[in-house]
């Protein structure tokens, strides 16, 4: 009786194992034929000798805009570092439509305090210009500790907190001002249903870049890398998949810079 029971158990186990293997193989083959349930998320990474930082796409776009406005105003990298430390503290580099009392935007400027209208402050180009217009009025701002320079502009209740973001600000400034080449990497996975008729909106993008940077001629490698970083950060918005400059090409996927075998060299910048 015991022998029969043991054989029955073994038979049942064997049948279950065979069925489990068969079901697993069937599921594996089915899953190979369908699209994955999730796709890689878009995002950016800044890589410099000072360190690396991950950014969401909006944060990268804001950072690129701040650097472009500073270049238009011919401001030093120190001014960009101060602006980044301020924006990180105030909004984490997002264009917020809310804040303490009537504070708004990247720098949390207040319409009631004369910073501009709500619509103006919600424009990152305008908001950045207003920030820099006040910063340059601060005596010796280039030599002041970051928190003191930022506080002189913002007049915040907790101005000491700006100092906490100096390291991040320096890393971003080195990348987005163009001082460190190939420093801004953004990945944009292809859409699930790509449109065969969509072409890059380069003219609209150029107009937006002109608003921030002014003259878009590539007068130096550093300016070229600043512009390249701006294009990479805004690529998905305008339907761009590649940016080429200085013998290197960035591609939307995998989102990194690689050496170019040809194309734009020196101070030529190409988009596609």
Could you read off the pLDDT of 21-50 as tens digits, one per residue? 455 545 444 444 434 434 568 999 999 999
Q: Which residues contact 91 (CB under 8 A, 6 or more apart)?
A: 99, 105, 106, 107, 108
The answer, yes or no, to whether residue 263 has pLDDT greater than 60, is no
Q: Quick one: average pLDDT of 181-208?
A: 84
Residue 242, SS3 per DSSP: strand
Band (pLDDT 50/70/90 cuts) for residue 19 is: low
The answer, yes or no, to whether residue 14 has pLDDT greater than 90, is no
The proportion of the chain whose per-residue pLDDT surpasses 90, expressed as a percent, equals 73
Band (pLDDT 50/70/90 cuts) for residue 140 is: very high
The proportion of the chain whose per-residue pLDDT surpasses 70, expressed as a percent, equals 80
What confidence score (pLDDT) does residue 260 get? 84
With beta carbons less than 8 A apart as the criterion, state whether 132 and 73 touch: yes
With beta carbons less than 8 A apart as the criterion, state whether 252 and 227 touch: no
The answer, yes or no, to whether residue 247 has pLDDT greater than 50, is yes
Whole-angstrom Cα distance, residue 67 to residue 59? 12
What confidence score (pLDDT) does residue 157 get? 72
Whose tokens are 């805009």? That residue is 65
Whether the model clears a pTM of 0.85, i.e. scores above it, the answer is no
Sign of the C-alpha dihedral computed for residues 245, 247, 250 and 256 taken in this order: negative
Whole-angstrom Cα distance, residue 170 to residue 153? 19
Average pLDDT, the chain: 87
């Amino acid at each position: 009786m015991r022998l029969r029971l043991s054989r029955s158990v073994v038979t049942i186990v064997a049948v279950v194992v065979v069925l489990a293997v068969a079901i697993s193989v069937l599921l594996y083959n089915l899953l190979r034929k369908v699209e994955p349930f999730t796709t890689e998320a878009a995002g950016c990474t800044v890589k410099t000798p000072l360190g690396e930082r991950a950014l969401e796409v909006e944060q990268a776009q804001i950072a690129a805009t701040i650097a472009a406005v500073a270049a238009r105003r011919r401001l030093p990298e120190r001014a960009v570092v101060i602006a980044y430390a301020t924006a990180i503290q105030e909004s984490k580099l997002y264009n917020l439509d809310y804040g303490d009392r009537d504070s708004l935007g990247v720098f949390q400027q207040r319409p009631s305090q004369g910073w501009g209208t709500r619509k103006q402050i919600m424009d990152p180009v305008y908001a950045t210009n207003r920030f820099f217009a006040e910063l340059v009025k601060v005596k010796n701002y280039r030599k002041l500790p970051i928190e003191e320079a930022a506080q002189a502009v913002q007049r915040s209740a907790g101005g000491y907190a700006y100092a906490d973001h100096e390291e991040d600000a320096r890393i971003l400034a080195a990348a987005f001002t163009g001082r460190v080449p190939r420093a801004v990497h953004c990945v944009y996975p292809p859409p699930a249903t790509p449109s065969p008729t969509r072409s890059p909106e380069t003219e609209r993008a150029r107009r937006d870049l002109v608003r921030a940077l002014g003259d878009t001629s590539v007068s130096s490698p550093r300016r070229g890398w600043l512009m390249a970083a701006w294009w990479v950060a805004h690529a998905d918005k305008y339907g761009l998949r590649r940016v080429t400059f200085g013998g290197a090409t960035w591609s939307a996927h995998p989102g990194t810079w690689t050496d170019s075998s040809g194309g734009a060299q020196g101070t030529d910048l190409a988009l596609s």
